[in-house]
Structure formats: C-alpha cells, structure tokens
C-alpha cells in the first residue's frame, strides 16, 4: 500500500475555510476542502446550485457559471494551500496573474466542481499554482495562477 493511500485526508468545512480565507458571501466559492498539504496543494468542492446570485443574469433561461468565477474558485483553493502554512496564517493571497486559462465544459446548476490547485513554484511571497476544475471527471477549466501573499490591512 502506498503512503498516499495510508494517509488520513486533511479536510476543512466551510466554517474552517472562513478562518483561513477572508472571502464571504457571495464570494466564498468553496464549500469544502476534501484534502490538502499546507504549502503544496489543495482539493476542494463547490456545489453549484440554482440559488447562486450570478445565475439571475448569466444567463436567464440557460444558467452557466461564469468562467471568471470558476477561476476565482480555483484561486481560493490554491489560497487555502498557501495560507494554511503557519507563517501565512492571517495573511491574504492576491492575484498576480492568470496564464493559459482554458474552458472546456459548461458548469451549470446541479454540478459539483472538483477544484485542484498545486503550488508549482514559490519565491518569497510570490508563487504559481497549476489549477484545474472538473465536473464528473471531465475537465471544465485549467489555468496557471500567479499569486502574492500579503499582510491584511486593518478594517
């Protein structure tokens, strides 16, 4: 049996994710983290429902999750990986760039997005994540995301 199979997954509920990420409704886009390795990778889930506010206008009669929100959900998944490091607790991960984004399948109400982001490079506060979103095993989106970890400003 390999090491991955013996390992107990690190999981996070929506409430635990909210302790790591500053995002709140309607921009908290991850329902659960099913496993992660701090500083390395994270896998999350987004249950897409007709109750999402963006479906009111995107598109009436033919609801499709906007690609930019799929990218945001992937970025939040990667942010959990990087911000779960003890030295990054209480900080924020900001977008630095999106490269090679490709959308392959529409995401509609009733879908469950499987979100994965692997941190592939990091120099100081700047890093790159390789991310992909799938529905029922089919690739919906892939992208390379650049981020910068910064201190949160006081409200």
Strand partners, 145: 98, 129
Judge whether 23 counts as a catalytic residue.
no
What pLDDT is stored for residue 6 in this prediction?
A: 84
- Whether the per-residue pLDDT at 155 is higher than 90: the answer is no
- Whether the per-residue pLDDT at 125 is higher than 60: the answer is yes
Four-way CATH pick for 3-151: 3.40.1190.20, 2.130.10.10, 3.30.450.70, 3.10.129.10: 3.10.129.10
Mean pLDDT of 107-117: 98
What pLDDT is stored for residue 133 in this prediction?
A: 98
Average pLDDT value for the chain: 95
- Whether the per-residue pLDDT at 154 is higher than 80: the answer is no
- Please report, rounded to a whole number, the percentage of residues in the chain having pLDDT higher than 70: 96
What distance in Å separates the CA atoms of residue 145 and residue 71, rounded to the nearest whole number? 9
Per-domain residue ranges of the chain: 3-151
Catalytic residue among 45, 58, 122, 142: 58
Within a 10 A sphere around the Cβ of 4, how many other Cβ atoms?
Answer: 8
What pLDDT is stored for residue 114 in this prediction?
A: 98
Confidence of residue 153 (pLDDT cuts 50, 70, 90): confident
């Amino acid at each position: 049996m390999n090491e991955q199979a013996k390992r107990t997954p690190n999981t996070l509920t929506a409430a635990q994710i909210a302790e790591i990420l500053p995002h709140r409704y309607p921009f908290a886009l991850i329902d659960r983290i099913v496993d992660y390795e701090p500083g390395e990778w994270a896998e999350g889930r987004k249950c897409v429902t007709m109750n999402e506010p963006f479906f009111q206008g995107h598109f009436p009669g033919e609801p499709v999750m906007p690609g930019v929100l799929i990218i945001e959900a992937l970025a939040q998944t990667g942010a959990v990986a990087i911000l779960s490091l003890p030295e990054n607790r209480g900080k924020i991960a900001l977008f630095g760039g999106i490269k090679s984004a490709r959308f392959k399948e529409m995401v509609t109400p009733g879908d469950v997005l499987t979100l994965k982001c692997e941190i592939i490079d990091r120099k100081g506060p700047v890093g790159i994540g390789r991310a992909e979103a799938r529905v029922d095993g089919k690739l919906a989106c892939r992208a390379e995301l650049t981020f910068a970890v910064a201190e949160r400003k006081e409200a």
